[in-house]
Amino acid sequence: MRKQYHFRTAKNGSGFDAFDVDRLIELSYGLPIENVALASITDVDTPYWFYTNPELPTVREVIEHTKLIHEADLTYPILLSIDGEVMDGMHRVAKAILEGSTTIRAIHLPALGEPDYRNCLPGELQY
């Protein structure tokens, strides 16, 4: 699987704070899996994948995400922050919606801790 990070706008407004998805997955081990209503995942109506330039996703970027959606494995639960933000699994959310599902398997992470990187830009991290 490709290296992945979850980005949030840095608290000081300069760049992003990044959470290593591998670490988030480790945090999820042993936590209960539940069915979550897809309608409750509000990140679907945000520029989730295009946060660096939400107004101008290229056709190539859309194609790449389409491939990732097609390859997404719904047997793995998505990871949600305590406030319901998708920390890992938006391609699975998209696939579930496209397939007409109304729920998705999810794990709520009780606490994230500090980000793995602060005030960074996505292109600066190793993938």
Domains and their CATH numbers in the chain: 5-120 (3.90.1530)
**How is residue 22 written in tokens?**
């591998």
Q: Which residue has the tokens 């042993």?
A: 30
Read off the pLDDT of residues 96-116 as tens digits, 9 standing for 90 and up.
999 999 999 999 998 888 889
93 and 44 Cβ atoms separated by less than 8 Å: yes
* Polymer length of the chain: 127
Question: Hey, what are 86's tokens?
Answer: 């998708």
pLDDT digits (tens, 9 = 90+) for 5-59: 988 887 776 788 899 999 999 999 999 999 999 999 988 887 777 766 667 777 7
Region for residue 4 given its phi and psi (left: phi exceeds 0; alpha: psi -120 to 50; beta: otherwise): beta
How many CB atoms sit inside 10 A of residue 95's CB?
A: 19
